[in-house]
Amino acid sequence: MLYLERVGAFVPETSTSVQELGEPLDLTPSQVLLFTRFLGLDRVAVAPGVELADMLTSAGEDALGDTDRDKVRYLVHAHTMQHAAPPSQHTLEEVRRRLGLRNAAVFGLSHMNCVVGLYALQIARFLLDGAHPDDKVLVVTGDKILSHRIHLIPETTVMGEAAAAVLVGGDPSGDRILGRAVDVQGRFYQCLACPDDLRMEYKHMYADSLSAVMREAVEDAGIASADIAAILPHNVNRLSWKKICAELKIPVDRVYLDNVPKLGHCFSSDPFINLAAARDGARISPGDLVLMVSAGLGAAFAATVVQVGERSAP
C-alpha cells in the first residue's frame, strides 16, 4: 500500500493582481473582467528573485521534516514546462545536495503538462515496487514563469509561481492512495497551437473528460462519489465545476476553490498545495476521502483518491 507520508509547499508571500498584469500581458479591460468576475481569479502568486532550486528546496524541506533522509532513494522533479531551467545550472542535483539526500537518484519528469504531479505518484509506485519497505520517493513540483508567453492560458487562467513536495512511502500514518486514473488524448498535442476546430472541440469535451477521469479514479478506489468529502483541484478557475459536480452528483461546496483567487494556477503543484491548505484549514480530517484532480493542455486529465491519514503536518 502506498501513502503520501508528508506533503509540503512553498507559497511565496508576494502576489500581484490580475488587474496589474493586464498591461504586461496585453489584456483588454473585458479580458481582465473575464478572468476576475467570471473565472474567479484575483491575485496570482509570484516569487521575484527566488530561483527554481530555492522553491523546490523549500517545499522539500517542508515535506521531509524529521524523516531519515538516507531512506529517500529517488528525487523526482515533476515539471510542466519541458525546459525547466538551463542544463548548466544542474538544478535538481543542487536541490538533492541542499536537502541532504545522499542516497537519492534524481531525474526530471515532463511531457504531461499540468497533470505531471499526479502522474508522478504512479511513477513513485513503480519505483517502490519490490523495494525495501522503508524506501521513499520525494516528488517535487514547480515551475518558474520565464516569460510573459507562459503567464497566460487565454480565456482560461493566469499562471502563478509556487512549489510542492510529496514524500511517498509506506508509512500508514500518511494519506493512503486508494485509486487513480489518467487519460491522455493525443490529438490535442499542439496545445494552444491547435487548429481552430480542435481548440473548439477541446472546449466542448473538457468538462466531460475531466468528469470521466474523476469517475474512473473513484471506481478504482472502490467507493462512491457521495463518499468524497472534498475535491482538491487545480486552481485554473471556478467556472467549470458546477457542471462537473452535477454530472458526478457531488455538492459543489465540496470543491476546494479557496486558492483560485489567491494564487492562480501554479502548474502541477495545485492539488498538493490544496491538500496541505485544506488540512491546515480543517476542511478535511483524518479518515476523509478526497479526490485530487488536474488537467493539462495536450490534452491530459488525471485524478487520485486518497484517504486522509492521522499525520497532520510535516
- DSSP secondary structure string, 203-262? HHHHHHHHHHHHHHHHHHHT--GGGEEEEE--SS-STTHHHHHHHHT--GGGB--TTHHH
* CATH assignment of the domain containing 79: 3.40.47.10
Q: What is Dmax (Cα atoms) for the chain?
A: 57
312 occurs within a structural domain:
no
Number of domains in the chain: 2
What type of residue is 95? V
Query: What's residue 77's pLDDT?
Result: 97
Q: Last residue of a domain, which of 145, 169, 193?
A: 169
201 occurs within a structural domain:
yes
Question: Whole-angstrom Cα distance, residue 251 to residue 237?
Answer: 17
Q: Is the peptide bond before 295 cis (omega within 30 degrees of 0)?
A: no
Query: What's residue 88's pLDDT?
Result: 64
Along the 314 residues of the chain, how does pLDDT read in single tens digits? 899 999 999 999 999 999 999 999 999 999 999 999 999 999 999 999 999 999 999 999 999 999 999 999 999 999 999 877 777 678 999 999 999 999 999 999 999 999 999 999 999 999 999 999 999 999 999 999 988 778 999 999 999 999 999 999 999 999 999 999 999 999 999 988 899 999 999 988 999 999 999 999 999 999 999 999 999 999 999 988 888 888 888 888 999 999 999 999 999 999 999 999 999 999 999 999 999 999 999 999 999 999 999 874 44
Query: What's residue 247's pLDDT?
Result: 84
**HSE (CB half, 13 Å, CA atoms) of 144?**
17
223 occurs within a structural domain:
yes
Say yes or no: 26 and 125 in one domain.
Answer: yes
Q: Last residue of a domain, which of 132, 151, 169?
A: 169
Domain range for 268: 175-307
Say yes or no: 23 and 160 in one domain.
Answer: yes
Query: What's residue 147's pLDDT?
Result: 82
Q: Last residue of a domain, which of 124, 152, 169?
A: 169
**Cβ neighbourhood burial of 110 (10 Å; 0-12, 13-18, 19+):** middle
Say yes or no: 163 and 229 in one domain.
Answer: no
106 occurs within a structural domain:
yes
Question: Whole-angstrom Cα distance, residue 303 to residue 293?
Answer: 4
